[in-house]
A and B are shown apart, each in its own frame.
Chain A
Amino acid sequence: MSAQSKKAQQLARQLFKTSLADGAVSAERVAGVLEYIEKHQPAHAMQVLKTYQRLVAQEVARSQAVVEHAGQVSAAILQSIAEAMTRRYQRPVSAVAKPNPSLLAGLRVRVGDDVFENSVAGQLATLAAHV
């Protein structure tokens, strides 16, 4: 890794840290950071922004439970998933529904890197892998 790209990553990390408020990404702060970058464009601005985007996206994914579902999913279920994930990760996690008919039936919940699979498609894939 070149020295310049290291510096770009360091700057992106610093900007990311300033974008957090109470351990979560704050929209206001992100807007402020973007404004700052536009005004004081750093060297390798593209690389800084890409790294910054990746870090923010990771953090957002960590605080959001994407609930993929094949059938109907009620607001109460989403609420209970959000509560369960908040308890599990000990940080506020919100739930977002995302229809995915390829699951056939059931749910797949994604929080950051973790995936909780409880769908027919997932079970079929496990079965296929073991046969």
Chain B
Amino acid sequence: MSTVLEQIEQQIAKLSNKAVKKNTGTITAIADGVAKLNGLSDVMYNEMVQFPGGAIGVALNLEEDEVGCVVLGDVANLKEGDEVQTTGRLLSVPVGKALLGRVVDTLGRPVDGKGPIDAKEFYPVERIAPGIIVRKSVSQPLFTGIMAIDSMIPIGRGQRELIIGDRGTGKTTIAIDTIINQAKINRVGLASGDKDFRPVYSIYVAVGQKSSNVVRTMSALEAAGALEFTVIVAATAADNPANQYLAPYSGAAIGEWFMENGMDALIVYDDLSKHAVAYRQISLILKRPSGREAFPGDVFYLHSRLLERAARLDGKGSLTALPIIETLAGDLAAYIPTNVISITDGQIFLETDLFNQGIRPAVSVGLSVSRVGSSAQIKATKQVAGKLKGELAQFRELAAFAQFGSDLDAKTKAQLDRGARIVELFKQPQGNPLPIELQAAVLWAMQNNYFEAIEVKKVVAAATQLKDFFLTRKDPLLTKIRTKAALNPELEAELKTACDEWKTTLKA
């Protein structure tokens, strides 16, 4: 027996005396969150590097003599000559459902004060996007709850739809409303007990945002009950550029977990303009050659490799991306906007003029497009909104001509009146996404001239009444539209009866 014990002791001794090999280097220079290192001969590209004091870095430039490394964390205590170690691991973040309802930083560490996150798995931050074979075309809708978007610029699961516009035009609001709508749909779907129901989990990545904005977003999501289906990745303006540069990739890794595990996820990058600026800063400090507007040559790849990670996978789930870009004075032809427009599958363009006119969401129908098109729409929406985009475009054209002349023929006048009513109908307050069945019902009423007799100024109020009427008194009809996802003569007859009933209440 004693020999057995000796053997075990020897084994323990072997383990406890095992030397640990580390590859080390020293800091030769450090500035603005970027460290130049001497040594680290074994370091890999994108490998995590351990700085003294617990800070983590990522090796980005591997040169003959030195290694350029971005530092994710407090650089205040780092100095020239400090020893740095390789970790043998690529930068990775915790993933999984444990992150839902939490606010994390670029490295997936909680920053909301709700305690540690019990994540079982880690995914690398940088990952090659899914290839061609594993992908499936986008055909399942992802409802934003915003009538103007769902009816005219439909978004599908796995699509990349850019939200673009000047500052203060409601870009973030659209993204937040979409997240809130997913939570609402999830709740209804999960309560229905439908086995085929696929919930959509959301990830909101704040890049270079003010901390107060992140708090506001978090509160808005919490108030709407959407936080429990959402992960917020925050790299605020106070974080160093390295964190801001890597945050969208961390968010994508968190989203990929849902996609790889047969679930659907939505990711919002708010915003990629600031992301490009953070990357420009890092690149300039790393002395990479600069190009147009001082952005480095690989700024296109910066966004294309990120957005390519959004996909719908065959036999698995999907990751839908809503990147946000802020333009200056509506300039869509600037460097970063054109890059991202060309990468994405369409854009929702928000106009300052429309916003100031009180048309909110200020979606410019003419400049907005969804390249996935009607394949990401349910039949009911196609039936009621198929021609809406054309009608609205015609209305804008006519309205532009009409302002020069006073004599209009009856047909033109009718078209203008109808267009003005559609515009009014699409006005929607923030934080109030509409279920798709309600949108279909309201649009059906509009297509069947129930708003024609109502004064243009009163259309918004009437539409609100109609929505309330359907929600409070015609819930079974809405449920039927939702489950059938198409309008048949029977449902149309029911809609007609309901709208007639509503009209009588309106008169009263």
Interface residues of A (CB under 8 A from B): 1, 9, 54, 107, 109, 112-118, 122, 126, 129
Q: How far is the CA of A101 from the CA of B40 in the complex (A)?
A: 26
Is B172 an interface residue when CB atoms closer than 8 A count as contact?
no
Beyond A114-B22, A116-B20, 6 additional contacts (C-beta under 8 Å) are A113-B23, A113-B39, A113-B41, A115-B21, A116-B21, A118-B18
Is B42 an interface residue when CB atoms closer than 8 A count as contact?
yes
State whether B287 touches A116 (Cβ < 8 A): no
Interface bracket on B? 10 to 19
- In the A-B complex, the 5 residue pairs with the smallest Cβ-Cβ separation, listed nearest first, are A118-B19, A113-B39, A116-B19, A113-B41, A115-B22
Is B25 an interface residue when CB atoms closer than 8 A count as contact?
yes
Which residues from A are CB-within-8-Å of B40? 113
Is B17 an interface residue when CB atoms closer than 8 A count as contact?
yes
A sample of 15 inter-chain contacts (CB < 8 A) reads A1-B287, A54-B38, A109-B19, A112-B39, A113-B24, A113-B40, A113-B42, A114-B21, A114-B42, A115-B21, A115-B22, A115-B23, A118-B18, A118-B19, A122-B20
Which residues from B are CB-within-8-Å of A122? 20
State how many angstroms separate the Cβ of B110 from the closest Cβ of chain A: 18
Q: How far is the CA of A115 from the CA of B24 in the complex (A)?
A: 7
Knowing A1-B287, A113-B24, say if A118 contacts B41 (CB, 8 Å). no
Which residues from B are CB-within-8-Å of A109? 19
State whether A117 touches B22 (Cβ < 8 A): yes
Q: How far is the CA of A88 from the CA of B327 in the complex (A)?
A: 57
Which residues from A are CB-within-8-Å of B25? 113
Interface residues of B (CB under 8 A from A): 17-25, 38-42, 54, 65, 85, 287
Which residues from B are CB-within-8-Å of A107? 19
Q: How far is the CA of A49 from the CA of B379 in the complex (A)?
A: 76
State how many angstroms separate the Cβ of A88 from the closest Cβ of chain B: 10
Most A CB contacts (10 A, CB to CB) among B20, B41, B287 go to B20
In the complex, the chain B residue whose C-beta lies closest to that of A118 is: B19
Which residues from B are CB-within-8-Å of A54? 38, 65
Knowing A1-B287, A113-B41, say if A118 contacts B21 (CB, 8 Å). no
State whether B41 touches A112 (Cβ < 8 A): yes
Q: How far is the CA of A109 from the CA of B39 in the complex (A)?
A: 16
Which residues from A are CB-within-8-Å of B20? 116-118, 122, 126
In the complex, the chain A residue whose C-beta lies closest to that of B21 is: A116
In the complex, the chain B residue whose C-beta lies closest to that of A110 is: B24
Which residues from A are CB-within-8-Å of B22? 114-117
In the complex, the chain A residue whose C-beta lies closest to that of B41 is: A113
Which residues from A are CB-within-8-Å of B54? 129
Which residues from A are CB-within-8-Å of B39? 112-113
In the complex, the chain B residue whose C-beta lies closest to that of A122 is: B20
Q: How far is the CA of A109 from the CA of B24 in the complex (A)?
A: 12
In the complex, the chain A residue whose C-beta lies closest to that of B25 is: A113
State how many angstroms separate the Cβ of A108 from the closest Cβ of chain B: 9
